[in-house]
Amino acid sequence: MKIIALGTGAAFTTKNWQTNFIIQENGKNLLVDCGGDVRHSLLRQNMSYLDIDAVYISHAHLDHAGGIDFIAYGTYFDPRYIGKPKLFCERQLMRDLWDHSWRGALEGLQGIDATIDTYFDANPVDKNSYFIFKNIMFDIVQSIHISAKYAVVNSYGLMFNDDSGGKRIYIPTDVQFAPKSSMMAYYNEADIIFHDCETANESGVHAYYNDLASLSPEIKKKMYLVHFQDNVIEEWDMWSEKATKDGFRGFCKPGVIYETKTC
In this predicted structure, the answer to whether residue 180 has a pLDDT above a threshold of 80 is no
**CATH number of the domain encompassing residue 203:** 3.60.15.10
Segment 194-216 mean pLDDT: 94
Q: What is the pLDDT of residue 148?
A: 86
Query: Could you tell me if 18 and 9 are in contact, meaning their C-beta atoms sit under 8 angstroms apart?
Result: yes
User: What angle (nearest 5°) sits at the alpha carbon of residue 201, between those of residues 57 and 206?
Assistant: 35
Segment 132-150 mean pLDDT: 93
Segment 89-113 mean pLDDT: 94
Confidence of residue 103 (pLDDT cuts 50, 70, 90): very high
Q: What is the pLDDT of residue 261?
A: 79
In this predicted structure, the answer to whether residue 166 has a pLDDT above a threshold of 90 is no
In terms of Cα–Cα distance, which of 123, 158, 154, 167 is closest to 137? Answer: 158
| Proportion of the chain above pLDDT 90, given as a percent | 87
Measured distance CA(152)–CA(119) in Å, rounded: 30
Q: What is the pLDDT of residue 150?
A: 87
Comparison of pLDDT for 148 and 22, the residue scoring more: 22
Q: Which of 20-24, 236-240, 254-258 has the lowest mean pLDDT?
A: 254-258
Query: Could you tell me if 174 and 58 are in contact, meaning their C-beta atoms sit under 8 angstroms apart?
Result: yes
Measured distance CA(53)–CA(27) in Å, rounded: 10
Task: Give the domain extent around 43.
Answer: 2-259
In this predicted structure, the answer to whether residue 263 has a pLDDT above a threshold of 80 is no
Q: What is the pLDDT of residue 165?
A: 76
Confidence of residue 152 (pLDDT cuts 50, 70, 90): confident
Q: What is the pLDDT of residue 25?
A: 95
Segment 183-211 mean pLDDT: 94
Q: How many domains does the chain have?
A: 1
Backbone angles phi, psi at 88, to 5 degrees: -115, 140
Confidence of residue 202 (pLDDT cuts 50, 70, 90): confident
Query: Could you tell me if 133 and 87 are in contact, meaning their C-beta atoms sit under 8 angstroms apart?
Result: no
Q: What residues contact residue 257 under an 8 Å CB cut-off, 6+ apart?
A: 2, 3, 4, 5
Query: Could you tell me if 195 and 184 are in contact, meaning their C-beta atoms sit under 8 angstroms apart?
Result: no
